[in-house]
């Protein structure tokens, strides 16, 4: 800004020194014009800086006011969420259902539902944001139980409960994971102590001794996965994952192992399970405390599980004799008695699938999530049995094999080598069944 007057002064001095006096007035007028232009430019610059300052100040004030209003305001912004009054009306109506109507919809009693909300409610509660109020835990649990009970499409469940399709998918995954992570150890465990004694007595009342539970496996249908679909094809010609479960006399699961592809055998699934490792890694090779073993004819009879012909014979896992051989009366009686006691696992599978029909037909959930879904269903089954939440007879009728449901593959007998000590235990029980029961 100061260079312009200085240059004008220099020009003026040059012309005045070497020119006629008439030019002096013109040079002074030129200097004055340059000064006026520089001052006008300075004024324009000041005005421009002032306008910039005012704009920034206004933007800051507006953003501050908007931030304060967003914190204080409770108004829902409908631009971010579609109104779904139908689902909201259904959930409001469901709250007033009587006990029978509630149980028919969700396949658990209202007291069991409330108990479950109390156990996992804090884990499935979501934080409120500036955009919308979160879906409350009761509604989230209801959506998941509805899907478990019907395994309907996400779209139909979304319409029923007034939420988005993606929201249904997220809720089912989150609630399922919460049930497994928080409740598995609480509701699923092998019997010990007085509980083990009660289980042994209960199976003895079924005329089979030293039994702590029945083991079995069942196939759960899935949609053909993208990766290695043939690996999941079972002997029945459809795709599945395998559920291996141990069941006690009260039809409760005491061990659950789920997720292996349907092409595997029961023996293969067993050999990879924690149950097998727990028994085989012990020095004595027993699954339960050796203190509970009894002697018969000089042979130690441990507490053990019972299974069908698809499982291997071990000291901690007994099975009946094969029909391929000529059986003695004692062997036939042993095989019949074991099969009768083992029926608890079939009854438990029937109740499990009757309550949770998502295990009866192909669902649209990813195969990687199926182990947790199956395990969560087993946990809910145990909770219902513990709470005295009765299984309704019509549920078993609905799960009878038909065009909608897939028939289980035939049992493939285990063809591996027979373990000598296990065969000795089985022979001793068969020959001394009555005396062992009276022990």
- C-alpha distances (whole Å) from 10 to each of 14, 34, 178, 413 are 6, 13, 87, 115
Q: What angle do CA 259, 265, 270 make, to 5 degrees?
A: 65
Beta-bridged to residue 213, according to DSSP, are: 305
The pLDDT of residue 138:
93
pLDDT (tens digit per residue) in 99-112: 999 999 999 999 99
The pLDDT of residue 186:
96
272 and 361 inside one domain: yes
For residue 332, count other CB atoms closer than 10 A to its CB: 15
Q: In angstroms, rounded to a whole number, what is the distance separating the alpha carbons of residues 396 and 382?
A: 17
The pLDDT of residue 23:
61
The pLDDT of residue 16:
46
Assign 1 a pLDDT band (cuts: 50, 70, 90). very low
Q: Of 327, 315, 376, 342, nearest to 148 (Cα)? A: 376
104 and 208 inside one domain: no
DSSP secondary structure, 190-221, as one string:
---HHHHHHHHHHHHHTT--SEEEEEEEEEEE
21 and 90 inside one domain: no
137 and 203 inside one domain: no
In the predicted structure, residue 214 carries a pLDDT above the cut 50:
yes
252 and 310 inside one domain: yes
182 and 193 inside one domain: no
Which helix (H) or strand (E) covers residue 247, if one does?
A: strand 240-247
The pLDDT of residue 241:
96
Assign 131 a pLDDT band (cuts: 50, 70, 90). low
Taking the CA atoms of 351, 354, 360 and 363 in sequence, report the sign of the dihedral they define.
negative
The pLDDT of residue 331:
94
Q: In angstroms, rounded to a whole number, what is the distance separating the alpha carbons of residues 144 and 43?
A: 70
The pLDDT of residue 13:
52
Among the candidates 51, 72, 93, a domain finishes at 72
The pLDDT of residue 401:
58
DSSP secondary structure, 349-379, as one string:
HHHHHHH-GGGTS--SS-GGGHHHHHHHHHH
pLDDT (tens digit per residue) in 8-64: 444 445 444 544 555 667 778 888 888 888 888 888 888 888 888 888 888 888 888
Assign 377 a pLDDT band (cuts: 50, 70, 90). very high
Q: In angstroms, rounded to a whole number, what is the distance separating the alpha carbons of residues 44 and 34?
A: 15
SS3 305: strand
342 and 432 inside one domain: yes
167 and 242 inside one domain: no
| Domain containing residue 106 | 81-186
Mean pLDDT of 212-232: 94
Among the candidates 154, 186, 218, a domain finishes at 186
Mean pLDDT of 278-303: 89
**Structural domain count, the chain:** 3
181 and 148 inside one domain: yes
**Which has the higher per-residue pLDDT, 174 or 64?**
174
43 and 88 inside one domain: no
Q: CB of 214 within 8 A of CB of 306? A: yes
Mean pLDDT of the chain: 86
Residue 221 CA to its chain's centroid (Å)? 17
161 and 204 inside one domain: no
In the predicted structure, residue 77 carries a pLDDT above the cut 50:
no
Assign 361 a pLDDT band (cuts: 50, 70, 90). confident
* Structure tokens given for 269: 């699934």
The pLDDT of residue 71:
67
**Which has the higher per-residue pLDDT, 340 or 281?**
340
Q: CB of 258 within 8 A of CB of 241? A: yes
Q: Of 344, 307, 349, 413, nearest to 218 (Cα)? A: 349
Max CA-CA distance within the chain?
Answer: 149
Among the candidates 48, 72, 96, a domain finishes at 72
**Region of poorest pLDDT, from 11-25, 181-195, 285-299, 351-365:** 11-25
Q: In angstroms, rounded to a whole number, what is the distance separating the alpha carbons of residues 49 and 210?
A: 93
Which helix (H) or strand (E) covers residue 413, if one does?
A: none
- C-alpha distances (whole Å) from 347 to each of 284, 290, 329, 353 are 32, 29, 28, 10
Q: In angstroms, rounded to a whole number, what is the distance separating the alpha carbons of residues 432 and 135?
A: 61
Q: In angstroms, rounded to a whole number, what is the distance separating the alpha carbons of residues 396 and 402?
A: 13
Q: In angstroms, rounded to a whole number, what is the distance separating the alpha carbons of residues 397 and 415?
A: 35
Mean pLDDT of 316-336: 90
Assign 258 a pLDDT band (cuts: 50, 70, 90). very high
DSSP secondary structure, 257-283, as one string:
EEEEETTS-HHHHHHTSHHHHHHHTST
Beta pairing class for 317-319 and 304-307: parallel
* Structure tokens given for 174: 């989150």
242 and 316 inside one domain: yes
The pLDDT of residue 255:
98
């Amino acid at each position: 800004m100061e260079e312009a007057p200085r240059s004008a002064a220099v020009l003026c001095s040059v012309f005045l020194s070497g020119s006629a006096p008439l030019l002096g007035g013109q040079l002074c007028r030129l200097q004055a014009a340059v000064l006026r232009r520089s001052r006008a430019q300075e004024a324009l610059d000041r005005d421009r800086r002032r306008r910039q300052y005012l704009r920034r100040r206004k933007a800051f004030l507006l953003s501050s006011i908007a931030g304060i209003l967003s914190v204080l305001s409770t108004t829902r912004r409908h631009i971010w969420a579609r109104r779904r009054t139908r689902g909201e009306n259904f959930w409001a109506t469901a709250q007033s259902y009587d006990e029978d109507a509630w149980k028919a919809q969700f396949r658990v009693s209202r007291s069991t539902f409330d108990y479950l909300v109390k156990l996992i409610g804090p884990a499935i509660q979501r934080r409120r944001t500036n955009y919308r109020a979160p879906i409350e835990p009761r509604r989230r649990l209801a959506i998941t139980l509805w899907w478990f009970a019907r395994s309907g499409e996400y779209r139909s469940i979304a319409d029923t409960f007034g939420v988005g399709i993606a929201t249904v998918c997220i809720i089912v995954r989150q609630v399922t994971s919460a049930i497994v992570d928080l409740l598995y150890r609480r509701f699923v465990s092998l019997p010990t102590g007085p509980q083990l004694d009660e289980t042994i007595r209960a199976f003895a009342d079924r005329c089979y001794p030293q039994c702590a539970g029945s083991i079995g496996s069942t196939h759960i249908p899935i949609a053909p996965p993208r990766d290695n679909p043939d690996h999941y094809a079972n002997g029945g010609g459809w795709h599945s994952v395998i559920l291996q479960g141990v069941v006690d006399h009260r039809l409760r699961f005491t061990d659950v192992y789920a997720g292996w592809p349907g092409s595997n055998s029961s023996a293969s699934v067993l050999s990879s399970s924690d149950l097998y490792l727990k028994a085989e890694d012990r020095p004595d090779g027993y699954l339960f405390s050796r203190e509970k073993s009894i002697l018969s004819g000089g042979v130690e009879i441990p507490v053990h599980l019972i299974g069908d012909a698809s499982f291997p014979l071990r000291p901690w896992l007994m099975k009946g004799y094969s029909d391929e051989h000529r059986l003695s009366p004692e062997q036939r009686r042993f095989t019949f008695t074991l099969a009768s006691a083992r029926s608890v696992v079939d009854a438990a599978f029937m109740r499990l699938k009757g309550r949770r029909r998502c295990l009866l037909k192909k669902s649209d959930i990813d195969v990687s999530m199926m182990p947790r879904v199956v395990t969560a269903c087993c946990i809910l089954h145990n909770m219902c049995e513990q709470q005295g939440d009765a299984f309704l007879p019509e549920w078993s009728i609905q799960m009878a094999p038909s065009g909608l449901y897939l028939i289980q593959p035939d049992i493939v007998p285990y063809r591996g080598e027979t373990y000598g000590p296990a065969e000795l235990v089985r022979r001793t029980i068969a020959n001394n069944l009555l005396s062992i029961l009276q022990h």
